[in-house]
Amino acid sequence: MPDALRPATEADVPTLAQLHASSFAKGWTEEAIRQLLTSPRVFGLMSEDGFILARVAAGEAEILTIAVQPSARRVGLGRRLVITAAGQAARNGAQAMFLEVVTVNAPARALYESLGFAEVGRRKAYFEGQDALVLKAGLPLCSPRLGIAAETD
């Protein structure tokens, strides 16, 4: 049984920073994560092996970051984090969700596409000199591959 997702709290900040550092060349500091997590309209969800931070404002949601430990990738945790965050964002009034993903991250791009995200823009040299795609999906998420709404509790 996969680890249950739970809300991330300020007490989780050191763990979130460690998870972020395991996923990115330049992981966010504890202070940066704390500032985001305690900001209005920002929420976090986590498990032992990964987390997501998202923000809801003016009918839109944005994934601020998602991190999954390398040893826990390709088993569905990233998908569960995105689907669960999208469900929470929709319950909080968001009608669409946005994110940025580096163009060379094929596994992440495939995940987002499978959940109904589509390219709506590009950002030059956004991630450490690499271009990023801006992706958008309507909420609730719908998986074109499965033809059903993708929702979890």
Kindly report, residue by residue over 120-135, the tens digit of the pLDDT. 999 999 888 889 999 9
Are the C-beta atoms of 63 and 85 separated by less than 8 Å? Answer: yes
pLDDT, residue 123, reads: 95
Are the C-beta atoms of 135 and 99 separated by less than 8 Å? Answer: yes
Q: How confident is the model at residue 150 (pLDDT cuts 50, 70, 90)?
A: low
Q: Which helix (H) or strand (E) holds 10?
A: none
Q: In this predicted structure, which of 4-13, 30-39, 110-119, 134-143 has the lowest mean pLDDT? A: 134-143
Q: List, for residues 136-147, the tens digit of each pLDDT value.
A: 999 999 765 544
Q: What is the mean pLDDT of residues 91-102?
A: 97
Q: Label residue 54 exposed, middle or buried (CB < 10 Å: 0-12, 13-18, 19+).
A: buried
Q: What is the mean pLDDT of residues 46-73?
A: 96
Comparison of pLDDT for 85 and 4, the residue scoring more? 85
Q: Label residue 44 exposed, middle or buried (CB < 10 Å: 0-12, 13-18, 19+).
A: buried
- Scan for tokens 């964002």, then name that residue: 89
pLDDT, residue 127, reads: 83
Q: What percent of the chain has pLDDT over 90?
A: 82
pLDDT at 22 over 50: yes
pLDDT at 18 over 50: yes
pLDDT, residue 153, reads: 44
